[in-house]
Every structure is written in C-alpha cells, then in structure tokens.
C-alpha cells in the first residue's frame, strides 16, 4: 500500500493537523541525540521536526508489511531489521527509547535513550519508514494507551484526569467487581509481565479503576484519581527509577502516598502498559480501516 495513504489515515486518526507539538518529545528527542552528536534533523522528516509526531522517517513509497511497538528500542529495532524488507513501516508510540529501571532487581536507569547511529543508518539505507505518535495516542479514546487498558478490563469510562497534550492521559472507569488480588492477577496476565509492583491498600471489592499508561508517579494526579472515586490505580511505572535527586524524591513521594491511600496501586512497567494498545486497538484499526495486518514486536524485557 502507498505510504502516503497510510500516513494520511494515521494523521487523521490522531488528529495531528490540529494537535499541538508534542512538548515532551520536543524536549527529550533533540537533547538525547545532540548529547551523543547525532544529527537527528538530518534523519527525520521536516514536519516531524516541528510537531514530533507523525511520519518520522520516509522510506520507499510502497509499504509491504507494517510492524508496531511501544519504543524504538535497540532490541525492537534489531528484531525489526532482522525481518524487514525495503519499504516496510514501523509504527511506535515513542520516537525514542526510555529506560526507567526495574523493581525486579532494584535497577536504576538513565531515562530517555537515543537511537544509535548504526541503526539509524540501517533504517535509511534499507528504505524503511518510521511513524511515531506519542501524546495524541495517550489521549485518544479510539486508539489510546489508557483506552486500550479500559477496554481490556471491560470498563466504562466515567471521568478523565491528568491533563496532557490537548486531552487527558488518565481515564477513570467503572469495571465489573473484582478484588485487589484478582485485579493484580489480571494485570499480570493482560500485560504479559511476571513482575507487578503493588502498593497501597488491599480491597475486597474494586469497581472503579484509574488508568494511565507509561509514567504514573505524579502523586497529585493519584490523589485526584482517588477523589474521583477510584479504588485502584493501574499504570506503567508507580516508581520511575531514574538516577539523581529528581528520581529519588519522586520515589519517596509515591511511597509516602502509598502509605495513606485507600487505593490499590499497580504498576506493570512503562513498556508493557503502552504496548497493549499496539496489540489490540491499533492492530484492529489497521485491519478495519486499511485492510492491513499489523505485526507487533514485543520488548524482550518489559522492566529495564
């Protein structure tokens, strides 16, 4: 299929022509590449350099196979490059990788990570295309990181929180009654993770869940979700283990909140929480709207 047709359909889906520039990626993508001396502007499309969403790299005009992932991590890119043919397209949620550490071995990490030059060259030389959509996918109710979780929990959206971009990254949803323990088991199964962070209160019955993909360690938004009636709070990272004073202070703040909240706090990893939409709503959208099969690429390690 023609690349421009796919890009135009994705841009319409996420309303990129009216969406504001992605402030987070506009800050972090240039910084991490410039720190290692990479000419990121020479790699991305001019329009992407303005809004930091949409077609990131234009390859050949005809797309053979479409792939999808949360991050363009080294592991994901290597898996893609091992099978991709010229003209193939990779759609990601983030345009750069992020490593937030792991509760599995209490690893602390560096945060945002650039794509290394060798992989950038491989993408360019083989005529491959990259498309990325960050904030507009976080706030979308049709193909969205939080919306996909609510759908998987058989929930009904009743409110929103966490202002982000031109919408809200957090959703509050009513769900069929479930215990905290059963909700944790469901999260482990749903996101394919062996380790789930659990803090806060344990409840016999949960009927309202707050959901936010990715980084969910802002205690003021946790408190708002609780005021909106949430009895559980499901996110990617309860604790962002980024080395430095900022990361350590955020970690302590969440621990203090967890000691007083009546919610069950559940973290399933940044990558896993935001990959679910790729395997569900985005894959369905490609099939229904374009008649294409999207092939998801999972991270080999969700916590990292």
pLDDT of 245 > 90? The answer is no
Nearest to 239 by CA among 256, 262, 224, 227: 256
Residue 106: predicted pLDDT = 87
Q: Which domains does the chain have, with CATH numbers?
A: 3-137+273-296 (3.40.1390.30), 141-271 (3.40.1390.30)
Q: Percent of the chain having pLDDT more than 70?
A: 100
Residue 246: predicted pLDDT = 84
pLDDT of 150 > 90? The answer is yes
33 is in an annotated binding site: no
CB 303 within 8 A of CB 193: yes
Span 157-179, pLDDT tens digits: 999 999 999 999 999 999 999 99
Residue 206: predicted pLDDT = 98
Residue ranges in the chain assigned as alpha helix (H): 3-13, 23-35, 40-43, 48-51, 74-81, 117-125, 135-139, 145-152, 180-191, 219-227, 245-258, 270-277, 283-285
Confidence at 247, pLDDT banded by 50, 70, 90 = confident
CB 301 within 8 A of CB 275: no
Residue 238: predicted pLDDT = 94
Residues 263-271: what's their mean pLDDT?
A: 97
CB 71 within 8 A of CB 94: yes
Nearest to 229 by CA among 163, 157, 164: 157
Confidence at 38, pLDDT banded by 50, 70, 90 = very high
Nearest to 266 by CA among 217, 229, 207: 217
Span 94-121, pLDDT tens digits: 999 999 999 998 889 989 999 999 999 9
pLDDT of 240 > 90? The answer is no
270 is in an annotated binding site: yes
Query: For residues 265 and 148, what is the distance between their CA atoms, to the nearest angstrom?
Result: 19
Residue 20 DSSP symbol: P
Residues 208-224: what's their mean pLDDT?
A: 97
Span 59-104, pLDDT tens digits: 999 999 999 999 999 999 999 999 999 999 999 999 999 999 999 9
How far from chain centre, in Å, is Cα 185? 21
Nearest to 208 by CA among 242, 231, 234: 231
CB 135 within 8 A of CB 164: yes
Residue 95: predicted pLDDT = 98
94 is in an annotated binding site: yes
Compute, in degrees rounded to 10, the torsion defined by CA atoms 176, 177, 180, 185.
-50
15 is in an annotated binding site: no
Residue 244: predicted pLDDT = 85
pLDDT of 242 > 90? The answer is no
């Amino acid at each position: 299929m023609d690349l421009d047709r796919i890009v135009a359909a994705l841009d319409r889906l996420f309303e990129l022509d009216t969406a504001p520039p992605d402030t987070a990626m506009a800050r972090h993508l240039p910084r991490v590449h410039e720190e290692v001396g990479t000419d990121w502007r020479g790699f991305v499309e001019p329009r992407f350099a303005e809004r930091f969403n949409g077609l990131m790299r234009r390859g050949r005009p005809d797309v053979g196979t479409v792939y999808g992932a949360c991050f363009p991590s080294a592991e994901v890119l290597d898996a893609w490059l091992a099978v991709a043919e010229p003209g193939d397209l990779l759609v990601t949620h983030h345009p750069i990788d992020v490593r937030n550490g792991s509760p599995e071995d209490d690893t602390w990490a560096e945060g945002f990570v650039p794509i290394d030059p060798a992989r950038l060259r491989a993408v360019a030389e083989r005529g491959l295309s990259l498309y990325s959509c960050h904030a507009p996918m976080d706030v979308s109710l049709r193909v969205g990181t939080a919306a996909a979780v609510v759908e998987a929990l058989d929930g009904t959206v009743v409110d929103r929180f966490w202002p982000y971009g031109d919408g809200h990254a957090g959703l509050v949803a009513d769900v069929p009654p479930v215990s905290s323990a059963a909700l944790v088991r469901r999260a482990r199964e749903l996101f394919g993770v062996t380790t789930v962070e659990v803090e806060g209160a344990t409840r016999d019955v949960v009927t309202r869940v707050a959901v936010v993909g990715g980084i969910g360690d802002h205690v003021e938004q946790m408190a708002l979700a609780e005021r909106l009636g949430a009895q559980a709070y499901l996110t990617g990272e309860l604790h962002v283990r980024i080395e430095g004073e900022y990361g350590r202070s955020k970690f302590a703040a969440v621990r203090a909140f967890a000691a007083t909240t009546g919610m069950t706090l559940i973290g399933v990893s940044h990558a896993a929480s935001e990959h679910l939409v790729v395997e569900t709503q985005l894959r369905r959208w490609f099939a229904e709207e374009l008649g294409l099969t999207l092939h998801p690429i999972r991270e080999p390690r969700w916590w990292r």
